[in-house]
Structure 1
Amino acid sequence: MRQNKILSSVKDENLVEKRRNQMIKGAITLFKEKGFHRTTTREIAKESGFSIGTLYEYIRTKEDVLFLVCDAIYQQVRERLEAAIDLKKPSVDNLENVIRSYFELMDDMQEEVIILYQEVKSMKKETREYVLQKERDMVGMLEEVIVSCVPADLAKQDVKLLANNIFVQGQMWGFRRWMLQKQFTLDEYIKRQTHYFMQALAIHKNTNDRRIDDGTSATV
């Protein structure tokens, strides 16, 4: 994993993973309260349960901690999506289950996702590009599900756009919670958004069917 490139003076990999997981948990708590810039490494060490000296045995800079937090968030998203995806039984129902699972995860991780988008700009270019690639990978997983589960001849561009729409609409539940969560329950939000996604696919299929009947083909 990319986080192994973060320098550590400790050679015990299990201990490194344990300590860094403590840092991630402590840092998320502090970043929620104060943001990345106002949080000090001393505070992160204290929240994590060890001294500032111990902290610097496992990382070199505060940005290292931010990277670990972002990496952990995306890992959770990937694991949840992988658990929901069943490409051996592709169906529209499977796609709907993936959408629900992803939206429920975004509800569970609202604070973490907001931290991610607020603070990714604080990263150096190389680290920021790595984190953004993680996001592209997540969208790619949704693209694969759409292609496998939807019985329609979708253009590549349409697949990419639909996957990005699902990805962003899930995150919007947290970004605009000040309004959305006063108007909808999570279940209502998921059902309405899924309805719109499926409606778009149905319109696309009907358009394709008409083109076939007319002797024309869809533009790919």
Structure 2
Amino acid sequence: MRKIKKSKTPISDIEVPTQIKNPELVRERRRQIIDSTVTLFIEHGYHKTTTRMIAKAANFSIGSLYEYVSSKEDLLYLVCKTIHEEVWDAVENALSDTDKEEERLARVIRHYFYVCDKMGDHILMMYQVTQFLPEKWKARILVNELNITDIFINALSSLSGKNNFPKLDEKILNLVGHNISVLGQMWAFRRWHLQRNFTIEEYIKIQTDFILGLIF
């Protein structure tokens, strides 16, 4: 099976400078800060949330916070980056299994939807406030969004025409890839309503049947 390649223009930690030299510590502390940031952005809004509020919520001094990030925009960008990384890892892990093609695709969808459920607040907040990022980072976020969709397109391409899996042309690969991406995010956007009628497991089953119906 072809292994999905990551973006040719990966986002490095250099773009979000830090004074800390230990990469693992940076990742751990930034995740702690990111989770607190999301909660505050949702509760108070992007503009009313200050870095001092974020530092307090994350149990950092304001000086310590600035060792890991330099601005509120840094934090917003890191939220988006974290979402994309979680999706990538979930899908790659699902593709590493050796089940039949249809079952492997269903697993990819399931893992992705679970990430959308787990990070629903993060995803919703990302789309609400990305407009406040500097232009260079807005462009990167859009690239990362398309890279997420490319994960599904590449996964479908790697399964296409194998055994009982239908051969899909480029247009259908693209359409189904975007369908998977958007349907997962829809749970995050409309969870407030969908949860009245469906559990996440029920939603996954219905949408997986729908997506497979586009192929088989």
Q: Give the TM-score taking structure 1 as reference length.
A: 0.84
Q: Which runs of 4+ in 1 moved over 6 A?
A: none
- CA 96–17 in structure 1, closer or farther in 2 if over 3 Å, else same: closer
Given residue 54 of structure 1, which amino acid in structure 2 is its aligned partner? S
- CA 49–194 in structure 1, closer or farther in 2 if over 3 Å, else same: same
The equivalent of 1:182 in structure 2 is: 196
Which residues of 2 match residues 68-147 of structure 1 at below 5 A? Answer: 68-86=78-96, 91-147=101-157
The answer as to 2:183 corresponding to 1:173 is: no
The equivalent of 1:24 in structure 2 is: 34
Q: Is the 8 A contact 2:130 2:138 kept in 1?
A: yes
Structure showing the higher helix proportion among its residues:
1
Alignment partner of 1:157 out of 171, 178, 198: 171
- CA 89–192 in structure 1, closer or farther in 2 if over 3 Å, else same: closer
2-structure distance, mates of 1:187, 1:67:
30
2-structure distance, mates of 1:177, 1:10:
38
Once the 2 structures are TM-superposed, how far is the Cα of residue 32 of structure 1 from its aligned partner? 2.5
Once the 2 structures are TM-superposed, how far is the Cα of residue 178 of structure 1 from its aligned partner? 2.6
CA RMSD of aligned residues (A): 1.9
1-structure distance, mates of 2:19, 2:188:
38
Which residues of 2 match residues 33-48 of structure 1 at below 5 A? Answer: 33-48=43-58
Which residues of 2 match residues 49-64 of structure 1 at below 5 A? Answer: 49-64=59-74
Radius of gyration: which is bigger? Answer: 1
1-structure distance, mates of 2:212, 2:24:
45
Q: Once the two structures are superposed, what CA deviation does each residue of 1:15-59 show, in whole Å capped at 9, x if it has no partner? A: 444432332122122123222222101001111212212222332
Structure 2 alignment gaps of length 5 or more: 1-10
Q: Once the two structures are superposed, what CA deviation does each residue of 1:111-130 show, in whole Å capped at 9, x if it has no partner? A: 11101111111111111111
Given residue 185 of structure 1, which amino acid in structure 2 is its aligned partner? T
Given residue 33 of structure 2, which amino acid in structure 1 is its aligned partner? M
